Structures are given as structure tokens and as C-alpha cells.
Amino acid sequence: MQPPAVVIGHDRINLGRDVTVHAGSFISVAEEEGGKRYDPRLVIGDRVTLGFGAVIACNGSVEIGEDVLTADRVFIGDTYHEYRDVTRPIASQGLTDPRPVSIGPGAFLGIGSVILPGVKLGEGAYVGAGAVVTSDVPAHTVVAGNPARVIRHWDGDAWVVPAGT
């Protein structure tokens, strides 16, 4: 871990071997937020590299497989701030219920990409720079954009580009 980096809830993190967390990263595995209790677990596999300024917000379950590489300023979160009551500040409305996030082995997250609650990235998935991933990404698939969409995928023999791309 390269300072300065902040880790909250270190006792709720299962950390693999040879993991690198670059400077400016913020990892929060919170058991309580706004009076609500959680049972969070963050799992980071062997040989994972988190780029400069990475943010992981975990109140439920975030799993990062082996050999995952992230560029700088990546955000991974399994919940977000609630916004139902327009008469109250958002910060006082608490969090939504967490939804598990899973990042498959060998995946890559491009600079400034965002992985939202409930997303599962398959093995070897590639997330382009600035992409906002709102739904699952199959194994060996390249996504980009906001919201992220499939650019190409590996069919076992060759790269396939979807029609209209």
C-alpha cells in the first residue's frame, strides 16, 4: 500500500498475495452508516493492482478476482446514497440496500471507470476509460461509454463486433 491511502474496516477485508494499492486510494468497508448495520466483506484476490486514487465503497459484498488491473481513479461501489425525500438533504437519507459486485479474474478497469451496485464482470472483461457499468459484462467482453455498452466480445475463435457498433 502506497501512502497516502485510507482503509476503513480492515478487519472486513480478505486480501490476497502481491496486491498493490497505489497512493490516494480510499477503501471503505463500513459496518454502520446512518444508524443502519451491515455485514460487509471485501475480497481482493492475488496479484490485484488498484491504480492511483481508486475508491472502493463496500457495505455488503465486493469481490475482486485474481490478476485484476485497474487504472487510476476507478470507483467500485455496492450501494449509493438514497434520494427519495426531496425535502431532506441527500446525506441524511442513508444508503440503498447493498447489491453484490463481482469482478472476474484477469479483468481490466480503465481510467475513471465506475462499477455500480449489482454488477458482475466476467473473467477477462475489459472496461474502457470513463465507462459507467450499470449491468453485467460477460467474460472476455469489451465495454465502453455511459452507460457502458458492448464494443466487442470473444466468441472462442475471434473477436465479434455487434451490429451497429
Query: How many Cα atoms occupy the beta-carbon half-sphere of 23 within 13 Å?
Result: 2
Radius of gyration of the chain (CA): 16
Catalytic residues, by residue number, are 81
Query: At CA 11, angle to CA 18 and CA 14, rounded to 5?
Result: 35
